[in-house]
Each structure stands twice: as C-alpha cells, then as structure tokens.
Amino acid sequence: MKILVTGGAGFIGSAVVRLAIARGHQVVNLDALTYAACLDNVASVADSPSYAFEHADIRDASALGAIFDRHQPDAVMHLAAESHVDRSIDGPGAFIDTNVTGTYTLLEATRSFWEAQGKPAQFRFHHISTDEVYGTLKDEGQFTEDTPYAPNSPYAASKASSDHLVRAWGETYQLPFVITNCSNNYGPFHFPEKLIPVVILNALAGKDIPVYGKGLNVRDWLYVEDHADALLTVLEQSENGRTYNIGGENEARNIDLVESICAILDRLRPSDRPYSSLISYVQDRPGHDYRYAIDPTRLREELGWRPSVTLQQGLEKTVQWYLANPDWWQALQARDGVGTRLGTSKGT
C-alpha cells in the first residue's frame, strides 16, 4: 500500500513511518518540520526506495493537491498536529489552526483526490487521535468508543473537533475513514518536553524532576512501537467508518511512573544518591485531567491486537534508548520552550 503519513517527522509519526516501511508499504512522509519535528527520527529509512519526504503544511491546500497528484496514495494516516497540552494552554490559537483548520484542509484535499480517482472503496483516511477527547475519569471505569466527548484542554478540544470533521466527511461525502483514539505514548524519539523524557533527562543532569500537583494523576501508558503496530493493523484490516480505542493496559499514577524511572536509572546509571531524591512537586496544570484509562476490547476482539510490552519493559527499553542516544536529545533541548515550565497561564 502507498501511505501518505502526515507528521511523520514527529514522535509517533516517525514510528509509523519506520514500521510501515519494514512491513513492505511505500510511505510519503508529509511534515511541516515544526519545533517538534526531527528528521533524524526517520534517518534509518530515509534512503529506502519505499520512502519519500514532502516538506509541506497541512494548511496549504495547493501544496496538498500537488502532493496527492504526484504520489497517488492508497491511504492517508493523519498524525500531523500540535500535540503538547501545556503549549495549548499558553497559545491555543496554533492548535485551532493546525488541528482543526489543518485537518479540514487535508480532508478537502483528500476528498478531491479520492473523487477524481473514482471514489475507490478501499481508500482510507485514518485519523489518529487521543483519549483526551473523552475528558477525565474518576477512580473507576474506562473509556470505550461510545464514551461521550468532553474535552477539557484546548489541545483535547482541537483534537475532538478534528475527529468530528473526519466523521462528518465520511457521512456527508462517503470519504472512507477510520478513527483511532489512543492513550499516552512513550518510547524512543519522544520529544524532550514530554513527561517521561523530562524525568530521564533531568535526572541525568542532576536537576529537579518536576511532578505536577501531588503526582496522583493516572495515565494509561502505551509504548510507541506498539501504537504504530496497532495503527497499521487498523489501517490494513478495519472496516470503513470504524473507531477504535488503543491502550497499553498499563495504568500508572504519575508519581509511581516517575519513581519507576528513577529506579531503572539507579540500576543502569548509578549516582551518589537515589534519583528519586530529585523529585520536586510543582504547581499543577490548569484543568489537569485526573485519570485516563482505555478499554481496548473492540480492537482486541475485532482485529486481535494486544500490546507487546508491559510498562516496566517499555520503560526499561526507553531509558536504555535515551542513555544510548545523547546526541539526539541534546540537539533538541536547545529548541524554543524546551526545559522551561509551560502551561501555567490560563488562556493568555
């Protein structure tokens, strides 16, 4: 299959690009190369005859039209987005522009191409979204595909909006689509402003490890390479119009997650005192959702997909990867906003 992947120079998109090529697909990676992108993430496949890169913005309709004409994809996997909740609190406009207007522009370019091709039924627009569209849970229960949307952050609201656009394009124009909503990802090539890399890199630098609030928020962690595998499974097998929740079945409180990472580092890179002594509780994020948990039953029963690693195994692989790849993360730490506390201002 020839797949147009948007956001393929980002964290999850690059895992999708690498795995899709390993599975024998052809990939066109379309990315605007924002602050969150890194082409080194796809260096291992950049010379493959199955790989092409297009430097373009999903809000640029004419660039999109030319890319569709040039590459004639069989499917779109749409991952390009502004993705950091804290940045969405400080500057929501960019999230509306890219995640809502950008998705609309991409949908229209896709529809135009698909209609010109004679509306092939096997075509897919695969929209990659988040469990944050469902809002927050208390101590019990899990999100299913039927949970009503109740997004709480500007990021989550922009992703919810984009999910609705994709569904509407499917209903109104019959554009074949599938939507997946997944839990928090972690793993190699995770941009150094997100929680798990921050913990690893601050610990290695001997800096305070910031934990929001009391560290009691719960997330359901998914190893990024498992997510990429789930996404390709859905793309290859799903019926038109289906939605799937993707989760790692790995719930953890933030403080327990941070303690686990510190314990792995104590073993792999011993210091003169336990890394957990660096933990520092900081002001909570405004509107911080308490708990996310995914019920992945539909994906398991319909497509037979399960995560391959536990959280402990995935964290071990992740810490080893960061220890082995300082050149990758040191270059990104110099980028705008990385290493500073973001997302404390309410809507400024």
Ligand X SMILES: NC(=O)c1ccc[n+]([C@@H]2O[C@H](COP(=O)([O-])OP(=O)(O)OC[C@H]3O[C@@H](n4cnc5c(N)ncnc54)[C@H](O)[C@@H]3O)[C@@H](O)[C@H]2O)c1
Q: What are the Cα distances from residue 162, in Å, to 92, 95, 213, 244, 287? A: 15, 11, 30, 16, 21
Q: At what angle do helices 326-333 and 311-324 cross, to 10 degrees?
A: 80
Least distance (Å) between residue 326 CB and ligand X: 19
Least distance (Å) between residue 227 CB and ligand X: 8
Among the listed residues 51, 104, 134, 155, the single catalytic one is 155
- Whether 146 sits among the annotated catalytic residues: the reply is no
DSSP assignment of 35-100, as one string? TT--GGGGTTTTT-TTEEEEE--TT-HHHHHHHHHHH--SEEEE--S---HHHHHH-HHHHIIIII
Comparison of 128 and 209: residue with beta carbon closer to ligand X: 128
Least distance (Å) between residue 11 CB and ligand X: 4
- Whether 134 sits among the annotated catalytic residues: the reply is no
Q: At what angle do helices 11-22 and 224-237 cross, to 10 degrees?
A: 60
Comparison of 25 and 78: residue with beta carbon closer to ligand X: 78
Comparison of 80 and 157: residue with beta carbon closer to ligand X: 80
Among the listed residues 132, 251, 259, 295, the single catalytic one is 132
Helix, coil or strand: residue 337: coil
- Whether 132 sits among the annotated catalytic residues: the reply is yes
Least distance (Å) between residue 174 CB and ligand X: 24
Least distance (Å) between residue 283 CB and ligand X: 22
Contact assessment for residue 31 and residue 240, using Cβ atoms and an 8 Å cutoff: no
Comparison of 3 and 278: residue with beta carbon closer to ligand X: 3
Among the listed residues 54, 82, 86, 131, the single catalytic one is 131
Task: Classify burial at 169, counting beta carbons within 10 Å of its beta carbon; exposed 0-12, middle 13-18, buried 19 or more.
Answer: buried
Bridge partners of 28, per DSSP, are 4, 52
Comparison of 36 and 319: residue with beta carbon closer to ligand X: 36
Q: Retrieve residue 265's tokens.
A: 């580092």
Could you list the residues that contact ligand X (CB under 6 A)? 6-7, 9-13, 31-34, 36-37, 57-59, 79-81, 83, 98, 102, 128-130, 159, 182, 184-185, 191
Catalytic residues, by residue number, are: 131-132, 155
